[in-house]
Amino acid sequence: MKPKFLKIVPPLDNSIVIKTDRSLNTPWHYHPEIEILYSVKGKGNDFVGNGIEGIEEGELIMFGENLPHTRLADKEFYKNNPNEVPEAVVIQFKKEFLGTDFFSVKEFEHINTLLHRASKGLRFFGKTRETIGEKLMEIRKLEDSSAIISLLSILDNLARSEEYVLFNRVSYFIDADEKSFHKLNKVYTYTSRNFHDNITLNEVAGLTNHSKAAFCRFFKAHTRKTYFRYLTEIRIANACRLLREGSHDVTRACFASGFNNLSNFNKQFKKVIGTNPTQYIQETLEKTG
């Protein structure tokens, strides 16, 4: 999937965008605006940076500046339920929409930290999700200063909350011109569709018409990581999703995510996440209740 730059134009005389989105098949894209999204209803998957999550009714997520993301519908669900229409409340704004230094003052230091944390993608749960969800449903009715004040209240609440998980344990970085983007995203598309299987360096290098050595240099120069590090992160992200959903035990999550043996899976899991799979399940249960 090729991340496309998406230019967001606020309504005339408005500094933020507040809208209702009824589409789940958006292109893989990024934009300088920070985005808060509340899913009223919908079925499918969120792809955020290197993270993969199933869409939940009532989910509350936040994307940082230029973080590539997309939401893809569950085709089977909507085929069997043609009258179902997804719905989400979306707010988009630039960090400096109230002035370059507005969030730099001491009183808003916690919000500034939140906006930085959102660079990895945030998914909120618990009371925070319930409270902010209600505010986001109401903000659609507001205009002008009332909408701005409500947004500041929402950011204040989110910044003080500890009820969140990261979409990406590691930062998502890409630095490439349009031609390189096109090549990289052939690799991203192929990887997202085939990470469950054995992927060779010859296969991915062929996608960009590079030799194996040239491809390794090309990929690392634009992403600051090796291709196999990226592949491992995608596989671990999928395993985390399966473990959180409770649909797979550790062994099944290991093989369903493209790993060939449990020992290597445990080693790579701890390297990326910082804990082993069993501890991760326990910590997730304790955090999300």
CATH value at residue 184? 1.10.10.60
Q: Indicate whether 158 and 247 sit together in one domain.
A: no
Whether 171 maps to a domain, the answer reads: no
Given pLDDT bands bounded at 50, 70 and 90, which one contains residue 273?
Answer: confident
**What integer best gives the mean pLDDT of the chain?**
86
Given pLDDT bands bounded at 50, 70 and 90, which one contains residue 288?
Answer: low
Which amino acid is residue 163, in one-letter code?
E
Choose one of 166, 196, 214: the last residue of a domain: 166
- For the chain, what is the domain count? 2
39 phi/psi in degrees, rounded to 5: -85, 110
Pair of tokens at residue 101: 């230094």
Q: Mean pLDDT, to the nearest integer, of 276-281?
A: 91
CA dist 168 and 122 (Å) reads 8
Looking at the whole model, is its pTM more than 0.75? Answer: no
CATH code at position 14: 2.60.120.10
Choose one of 131, 166, 201: the last residue of a domain: 166
Whether 172 maps to a domain, the answer reads: no
pLDDT in tens, 28-61: 677 889 999 999 999 888 888 777 777 888 999 9
The separation between CA 92 and the C-alpha centre of its own chain, rounded to angstroms, equals: 15
Q: Mean pLDDT, to the nearest integer, of 94-98?
A: 90
- Domain assignment of residue 46, given as a range: 4-166
Pair of tokens at residue 235: 């596989």
| 107: number of Cβ within 10 Å | 7
pLDDT for position 11: 46
Q: Indicate whether 98 and 147 sit together in one domain.
A: yes
Share of the chain above pLDDT 90, in %: 48
Choose one of 119, 139, 166: the last residue of a domain: 166
pLDDT in tens, 144-182: 889 999 999 999 999 999 999 888 766 665 665 667 767
